[in-house]
Structure 1
């Protein structure tokens, strides 16, 4: 898979990153089945750091492009696209399965001797070597359809069949990538990690979140009020946590 340069016209960023307007950036990685629109309610900046939602191929504005296939391929292409934007301090935020390509991208930046994020924020996602515990990976296509319809209704959207069919196609490809992902043991990251546990999220066990601790010298596990998808509203507690690295 090829990627174009990360310029104002780059398909990787639905909000073209600004020039000198902000002294730092937060690159945001969406969860399975979603795209950059998961961050549409977020502010343009958090404590001076520009919010830069990442758009994966094969969805939303990139629906016509081939799916990335694996997290490893995704991270390879994104690391290349990010190069022109690593000219100032930055952080990564990944929610749920989006934390895994964020993690893999950090490793690729390190391998290439490129600038590294000052923080990797992991939200509601077990450590990579426990990623297979995600209950969604065990669901059938019919069960995933029900989950998707429930999610849309929870967002105040009536799930039309054509909308559900399109979303399910993306979700199934994303789940194939998640199911193929394997890390059997922790891998040391060259940056601090902040793990966010949503207090009302019944599907992510605290032990699976605490399993991030061997991944960096500094791993801070924090509890945030709310449920699994409440990050989409950019609640104040989350914004405070994300502003803590500046």
Structure 2
């Protein structure tokens, strides 16, 4: 099993098994996917750890999106060479996964079998969130309350918030630095939306079909912006089923 700070749970050396790289939402870390790794499956799940959190807490937090992707690709490219792989991203992670997939195609000639995105508007669409990183802490707390993924006891703990808010704000700033450059992915895209997610509704996420030259499919799941975590193994099993499907004819395969 290979070890790399970007992949704290390791990557198996069995190159016959497909890989599913997972990118988390703003304020998260690779640990939100920890229990996914232990599940028996024909797909190897690889949570990605960004600098400045989790096992990489001592490292500087990335400030610019392009710089993050550049460093990520240097770690990712050797692992996907000669292997089948998919990229999955939730919220901010969807933007990271999309940009990484496009650059792997363009700069390395490595094509993901499919890109799976959850809970984020398409890259060429305006951000519907009312919050921006230059707003104060009270506005950030209101944003976390609105999204519904942070337990109330955490939002009411001033000491804990003093630790968490700077990291979350930094992720928002990182996310805001993403620039769409009219890239079109040559691989299929599957979009997942939460029925209660106002910022990334099914109608909004259908626009992901406009940034791929291959197949597209979309599915809604019960829940708010954090339906991925709330649904637990039910969502994970669906994600693994999807990741194991052939990329060609994804729409027909996914809805069969």
TM-score for both structures, normalised by structure 2: 0.82
**Aligned counterpart for 2:46 among listed residues 43, 49, 52:** 52
Pair 42,159 (structure 1): closer, same or farther in 2 beyond 3 Å:
farther
Aligned to 2:217: 220
1:107-136 CA-to-partner distances (Å, cap 9, x unmatched) read 211122242210100001100112522334
Gaps of 5+ in 2: 245-256
Aligned to 2:105: 110
1:91 aligns to 2:86 (yes or no): yes
Tell whether the 8 Å contact from 2:128 to 2:199 is kept in structure 1 after alignment. Answer: no
Q: The residue matched to 2:36 in structure 1 has which SS?
A: coil
Shift of 1:39: 1.4
Aligned pairs for 1:69-218 within 5 A = 69-86=63-80, 87-137=82-132, 140-148=136-144, 151-153=149-151, 160-183=157-180, 186-216=182-212, 217-218=214-215
What is the CA–CA distance in structure 2 between the aligned matches of 1:158 and 1:175, rounded to whole Å?
A: 18
| 1:4 aligned partner | none
Supply the distance in 2 between the matched residues of 1:46 and 1:88 (Cα, whole angstroms): 19
Question: Which residue is 1:66 aligned to?
Answer: 60
Task: Give distance in 2, aligned partners of 1:192 and 1:231.
Answer: 20
Q: Which runs of 5+ in 1 are unaligned?
A: 1-6
Per the alignment, residue 242 of structure 2 pairs with 244
Deviates more, 1:228-237 or 1:156-165: 156-165
TM-fit CA distance, 1:245: 3.6
Contact 1:89 1:118 in 2 (8 A): yes
**For the structure 1 residues 46 and 201, does the alpha-carbon distance in structure 2 shift closer, same or farther, using more than 3 Å as the test?**
farther
Corresponding position: 1:42 with 2:39: no
Aligned residues: 238
In structure 2, the residue corresponding to 1:137 is in which secondary structure?
Answer: coil
Q: Provide the C-alpha distance between the structure 2 equivalents of 1:40 and 1:123, rounded to a whole number of angstroms.
A: 18
In the superposition, the TM-score normalised over structure 1's length comes to 0.85
For residues 88 and 200 of structure 1, what CA distance do their matches in structure 2 show?
36
TM-fit CA distance, 1:45:
4.5
